Amino acid sequence: MFRAKVNRSLSFLSTNSSRTTTTHGQHYQYLQCSKLPTLYFQRSLPRLPIPRLDQTCQRFLAAVEPLLTPEEQGGTRRAVEEFRQGAGMELHARLQASDAANKHTSYISQPWFDMYLADRVPLPLNYNPLLVMKSDPRPEYQQQVVRATNLIISSLRFWRSLQADLLEPEVYHMDAKKSDTAGYRRWMKVAPKALATYASYAFKAFPLDMSQYSRLFGTARIPRLGRDELVQAPDSKHVLVMRRGHMYAVNVLDSSGYIESPSVILGRLRAVLRLDSEREAAAVPLGVLTASQRDEWAQNRARFVSNPRNADLLQSEVDAALFCVCLDSEEDGVYDDSHQEPLLKHLLAGKAQNRWFDKSISLLISADGTTAINFEHSWGDGVAVLRYFNELCRDTLRQPFVSTESVHTPAEGDLGNVRPLDFEIDEATRSAVAEAYAKNAAIVDGLDMHLLRYPHLNKPACKQYGLSPDSIIQLSFQLAHRQAFAGYVGSYESCSTSAFRHGRTETMRPCTTATRSFCEALLQPARSRPPAGELRAMIDQCSRVHGQLTKEAAMGQGFDRHLFALRNTAQREGLPVPALYETEAYRRLNNNIISTSTLGSDALLAGSFGPVVRNGFGIGYSIQNDFAGAIVTTYRNQADGKVFIDSLESAFDKICAVIKESDSGSGSSSGSKEGK
């Protein structure tokens, strides 16, 4: 899977917060000054291929096999063959024709946008994920308003670098020591631009699509009946700051578009806190409405903006803000490493009083400075957000611009640059907010979250025993579910297709016949269980299959998006939806009981999202230098997350025991070399 990398070829200023800052100088205004233009590779990126229909059919059959009985498999094979020779062939031809007529993009881009924007379910838990950043270990930079100031400045430096074409192109380096170098960049600079991507391949460096980056800031999702829309104000000069449900527009760029000085931004945030301290929490926190069912929010918004003052404030100050900064209060909770779940649950969905879920990016900053990103998902995927997340963490650690000792420029009374948004609230809006709050609270109260940190499985252990980290964790999920709930279910792992122009994601199906065979063998009674060496060979086979499926998905050769696009083609052109999509096999596979996602980042403290089906498990996971971790969300009385997390720990124990026993039996400390 392609994962975003933090660029490491930069020069940094001193971290001394008392230094003099030349605010219009390049070092302050820009995060990076890349030798290659940001979109240097965009023109030469290959197009996302449409898989062959027969291969898609074969891959679908392989994916559903572990979920079906032998009798069900026979019926499914007949349905797939009928599809392949009939309606599927016609839809495939129509999809190819549409793709050929739209060479500027990918066959999945617009249907995927439409899928996100047409879904009517609330954004929190269903779509908006959470990324929590590791804290700054230095207390003088972790204090909330100081942390917020540095995060805003680094975000603006990232944004201005992107706009000025100075942000490093996103490239996945197979061997960063050999290719992420000045020499590589010199070669790329002289390569013909139309062939630059292919020249990069010679270095085993894979440029990634950056078309989503332009929507990182200044973008909002506007609720409309039936289908939402995205609006953007890339030249905006302010951010939306939220505190206890109150909303403020705070200018952070000057009239010429330069980033305001650190002391000015710090002073304006302090002015927000001063204003907030002089009044009660918002009696009608409008942000709660963004947690509503989308048609309900569309109707409420339409009524709300029928008031011209409200329409102007909402469109010019909220929708047009570069991003949202949510300054949470003490009562919202702080981070406790021994009991993380309450704060993580609040950051994921919370009470919604101090949120605007429609913004492309929201920085959530707790009273203790704990920082998270909650992002609206329709405009883009993990690669773009993770790049921003990594750069943000790195920049604030390497060169924070203010500390608790910094002097700020007072902004009290400066209503031109710190603007409280005082909407006109009628009874209909008051009632709508109360109703939305009650509905969201009921959903969030019914969400359970369980966390596991397993210290015996980590990056060094995987390297020592020659294991694929991702494969071994996905295998553990399958074993955990099998031993806890006695079955195999639809399972989902997201994989980026950003190696292609306008690529989005593809699904990797981690429940395979190989994982099923291993689980069944391991769970046999001790007297009939295969020896450790044989079980280890089965683990290696699981890794090989997992690695091949991941490679296929990343290279645009999965089957889920192809089948999605074929059904979308039928719906778009008014054709009957083929019977394949009504089969039990298709339904079971796409009822994603186990939905998983991981982001490889040293800056990540935790990541989480809601279950994608009511009786499912939403599993955010990572493998770090000192542990393997998983955060599991479930809906109460629909799925038992505690039973799953306990079973997962047992699964880790069993798999680690097999690995260690087989390793000691072979007399080797290197194990197999099936790493991914």
As to burial, measured by CB atoms within 10 angstroms (0-12 exposed, 13-18 middle, 19+ buried), residue 111 is buried
- For the segment 296-319, the average pLDDT, to the nearest whole number, is 98
Q: In angstroms, rounded to a whole number, what is the distance separating the alpha carbons of residues 655 and 475?
A: 9
Please give the pLDDT value at position 666: 64
Neighbours of 636 (CB within 10 A): 11
Please give the pLDDT value at position 8: 35
Neighbours of 185 (CB within 10 A): 18
Count Cβ neighbours within 10 Å for each residue of 369-390 and write b for 16 or more, e otherwise. bbbbbbbbbbbbbbbbbbbbbb
- For the segment 71-89, the average pLDDT, to the nearest whole number, is 97
- For the segment 9-32, the average pLDDT, to the nearest whole number, is 58
Please give the pLDDT value at position 6: 36
Please give the pLDDT value at position 22: 66
Q: Does 104 participate in catalysis according to the annotation?
A: no
Strands (E), 150-193: 171-173
> Helices (DSSP H) in 486-599: which residue ranges?
513-522, 532-554, 560-572, 584-590
Q: In angstroms, rounded to a whole number, what is the distance separating the alpha carbons of residues 110 and 565?
A: 10
**What is the crossing angle of helices 560-572 and 87-100, to 10°?**
90
Q: In angstroms, rounded to a whole number, what is the distance separating the alpha carbons of residues 50 and 96?
A: 7
The per-residue DSSP string of 69-114 comes to -HHHHHHHHHHHHHHHHTHHHHHHHHHHHHHHT-TTS-TTHHHHHH
As to burial, measured by CB atoms within 10 angstroms (0-12 exposed, 13-18 middle, 19+ buried), residue 192 is exposed
Q: In angstroms, rounded to a whole number, what is the distance separating the alpha carbons of residues 357 and 288?
A: 9
| pLDDT bucket at 600, cuts 50 / 70 / 90 | confident
Active-site entry in 92, 377, 456, 562: 377
Q: In angstroms, rounded to a whole number, what is the distance separating the alpha carbons of residues 657 and 668?
A: 15
Query: What's the pLDDT tens digit per position in 396-416?
Result: 999 999 999 999 999 988 999
Do 209 and 501 meet the contact criterion of CB atoms below 8 Å apart?
A: yes
Dihedral sign of CA atoms 425, 219, 387, 608 in order:
positive
- Cβ contacts of residue 97 below 8 Å, gap of 6+? none
Query: What's the pLDDT tens digit per position in 92-114?
Result: 999 999 999 999 999 999 999 99
Measured in whole angstroms, how far is the alpha carbon of residue 158 from the centre of its chain? 18
pLDDT at 338 over 70: yes
Q: In angstroms, rounded to a whole number, what is the distance separating the alpha carbons of residues 519 and 655?
A: 10
Tokens of 595: 């939905």
pLDDT at 664 over 90: no
pLDDT at 13 over 60: no
Query: What's the pLDDT tens digit per position in 117-129?
Result: 999 999 999 999 9
pLDDT at 145 over 60: yes
| pLDDT bucket at 9, cuts 50 / 70 / 90 | very low
Instruction: Name the average pLDDT for the chain.
Output: 93
Query: What's the pLDDT tens digit per position in 448-471?
Result: 999 999 999 999 999 999 999 999
Tokens of 306: 């029928």
pLDDT at 4 over 70: no
Please give the pLDDT value at position 172: 95
Q: How far is the CA of 592 from the CAs of 209, 596, 616, in angstroms?
A: 27, 9, 7
Neighbours of 569 (CB within 10 A): 21
- For the segment 210-236, the average pLDDT, to the nearest whole number, is 97
Please give the pLDDT value at position 27: 84
| pLDDT bucket at 564, cuts 50 / 70 / 90 | very high
Which one has a higher pLDDT value, 351 or 42? 42
As to burial, measured by CB atoms within 10 angstroms (0-12 exposed, 13-18 middle, 19+ buried), residue 562 is buried
Q: In angstroms, rounded to a whole number, what is the distance separating the alpha carbons of residues 58 and 80?
A: 9
Q: What is the DSSP letter of 138?
A: S
Tokens of 609: 């999202």
Q: In angstroms, rounded to a whole number, what is the distance separating the alpha carbons of residues 392 and 590?
A: 35
pLDDT at 21 over 70: no
pLDDT at 500 over 70: yes
Q: What is the DSSP letter of 531?
A: P
Q: For residue 593, which of 545, 629, 641, 542 has the smallest C-alpha distance?
A: 641
